[in-house]
Amino acid sequence: MRLPGLLASTWVLFRKDLLVEWRSRSRINALVFFSLATLLLFSFALGPDTALLRRNAGGYLWLALLLSSVLALGESFRVERENAALEGLRLIPVDSRAIFLSKGIANAVLLAALGLLLIPVLVALLDVRIVLSWGELLALVGLGCLAIAAPGTLYGAIASHARARDVLLPLLLFPILIPALVAAAKGTALVFEGDPMGQFPSWLTLLGSFDVIYWGLGVVLFPRVIEE
Amino acid sequence: MELGPALELHEVSKRYGAQWALVRLSLTLRRGASLLLTGHNGSGKTTLLRVLATAVRPSSGTVRVLGTDAGREPDRVRAQVGLLSHANFVYEDLSGLENLEVLARLLGISVSAAPGALERVSLSPKDDRPIRTYSAGMRRRLALARLFLKQPAVALLDEPFVELDPAGVTELEARIRELHAGGTTLVLATHHIQQGLQLCTDRLHLEQGRPIAA
């Protein structure tokens, strides 16, 4: 028996995570309806001022994704808590970094898919237009979702041990995500309204740097979090 | 050259808060032996198995499994040890076969071994229902199939007969004998003392984390 390496284990666990998500589609449905409801509520709360709604559309998108991420992250560790599956992985033994990477990437993929679903809704609901290219918007959504997923997966693992885990996760996660949220919302606003000052690359760089730092920290710290 | 013992515990203690689960326990078990752990609920049997499996770290003392220091190289120990525990370590939304295929890939062995492991515990590889529809006995069998797939050098069995019907108990006894006959060192914790005595050659009785003459 020769245990697979980090990348091979990550791939096996990533496929397993997506399969588990697919099998429990009711959770995905709940996530979609929750994010749509959040978008609608923001629109209703600010009234019929379409110019204001359009200007803030980027912020609504990322707040909807952020709030939905708490549900998705909590759920992804509930699956691992059931039957002590996470402990089972440790005892195989699986490299703990592979567990972090697979779960983080699976969470990012789920959030990115949700983001791509919400963009047409924003276009229809708030009459926003994609002024910059779709490629720039996709890069922003990808990096933004990776930015939520890395600390979210790390804190999701920490919170999963706590009794008040549903409260603890947003308390830990939201303050950390402020720079990423600002960068993602500002960048999305530029995609929707145009970028005459050429600021978009700076926000993208900020998001990318946030990703590098938190994915790096996750790889280092996650093994300590899931050991006893 | 004679190989060293399978398990060596020296002055191992484990404390949960103010409660001592194991108190300065020392033990040596030769390779291929079978040890029956007995004792009342809360006597430390499960904690001892979890310490041996490296699921928990002892508060003090040293544990060596097949010559490897469990504190220094837990992953090396984990690769050689299989734990059948109260928890089944499975994913509820996947079928029995899918669960075993994930395990096979993570162990680096062929997924073609998974159906055979299921059949060995009388579960059908064609049953594509998710685990959440399984009965308690079927879950226990699946947990045992995980153990067969891993083929550990040391098998730690925590109350394996719980939730099984009489036919299931008889079948499980036969499977444990097979495992032991294949050279696996067994540590079996159970309240079914008669079954345990038939399966094991050595016995350790624990009371409040301390070994007591049975």
Under an 8 Å CB criterion, which residues of A touch B?
1-4, 8-9, 12-13, 16, 19-20, 23-24, 79, 82-85, 87-94, 228
Among A13, A23, A83, the residue with its CB nearest the CB of B90 is A83
Intra-chain end-to-end CA distance of chain B, in Å: 34
Burial B97-116 (b: 16+ CB within 10 A, else e): bbbbbbbbbbbbbeeebbbe
Helix (H, G, I), strand (E, B) or coil at B48: helix
Question: Quick check: B106 and A83 CB within 8 A?
Answer: no
For B87, the closest of A9, A13, A83 (CB atoms) is A83
β-strand pairing of B185-189 with B34-38: parallel
Q: How many CB pairs under 8 A join A and B?
A: 82
| Mean pLDDT of chain A, nearest integer | 91
pLDDT average, residue stretch B154-176: 89
Q: Which amino acid is at B208?
A: Q
What is the predicted pLDDT for the residue at A228?
59
- Chain-chain contact of A1 with B109 (C-beta, under 8 angstroms): yes
Q: Judge residue B42's burial from the number of C-beta atoms within 10 Å of its C-beta, 0-12 exposed, 13-18 middle, 19 or more buried.
A: middle
The tens place of each residue's pLDDT in chain A, 228 residues long, gives: 678 899 999 999 999 999 999 988 877 888 999 999 998 888 888 777 888 888 888 999 999 999 999 989 988 888 898 889 999 999 999 999 999 999 999 999 999 999 999 999 988 888 888 888 889 999 999 999 999 999 999 999 999 888 888 888 999 999 999 999 999 999 999 999 888 888 999 999 999 999 999 999 999 999 999 885
User: Is some CB atom of chain A closer than 8 A to the CB atom of B91?
Assistant: yes
Q: SS3 for A140?
A: helix
CB atoms within 10 A of CB A20: 23
CB contact under 8 A, B87 and A84: yes
- Dump the DSSP string for A142-176: HHHHHHHHHHHHHHHHHHHTSTTHHHHHHHHHHHH
> Which ipTM score applies to this complex?
0.91
Q: Is B213 exposed, middle or buried (0-12, 13-18, 19+ CB in 10 A)?
A: exposed
